[in-house]
Copies of this chain bind each other. A is one copy, B any other.
Amino acid sequence: MEVINLSEKFGKFSDHFSPKIIAELNGQQVKLGKFKGEFVWHKHAGEDELFLVIKGKFFMDLSDRTLEINEGEMIVIPKGTMHRPRSEEEVHVMLFEPAGTLNTGDVNNELTKNDPERL
């Protein structure tokens, strides 16, 4: 059991759209990610996904609209929902999702990270 400092963890990586695991509880994982640019459109068949902005802001494109999520704001994307995170400037995001959730969901491409790093 240890105190986890988010800034310190964010300082340990610089790659985009490749969330790192910082904690696990009740079969869920807490991950930290840096987003910049456009991610891939995807959905998760069985997993709801929470995004909390720690620093900066990003846009979440949905099939019928786009939401802007600013620092201190969060959104839950229900399973089965097509979505695409997008950010002009780098944004720091915390994610909560079931262990094993794949970053690209039902898509498998060069952005897919099958075995996220643990910080």
Contact = CB atoms under 8 A, between A and B. Distances in A.
Contacts of A72: 5-7, 54
A74 interface: yes
A74 B1 contact: no
Interface size on A, as a range, is: 20 to 34
Contacts of A3: 67-69, 73-75
B1 A26 contact: no
Q: How many copies does the complex hold?
A: 2
Interface stretch (A33-41, A42-50, A102-110, A111-119): A42-50
B5 A76 contact: no
Given A1-B62, A1-B81, A26 B6 contact: no
Interface string A12-51: 0000000000011110101000000000000000011110
A25 B95 CA distance: 12
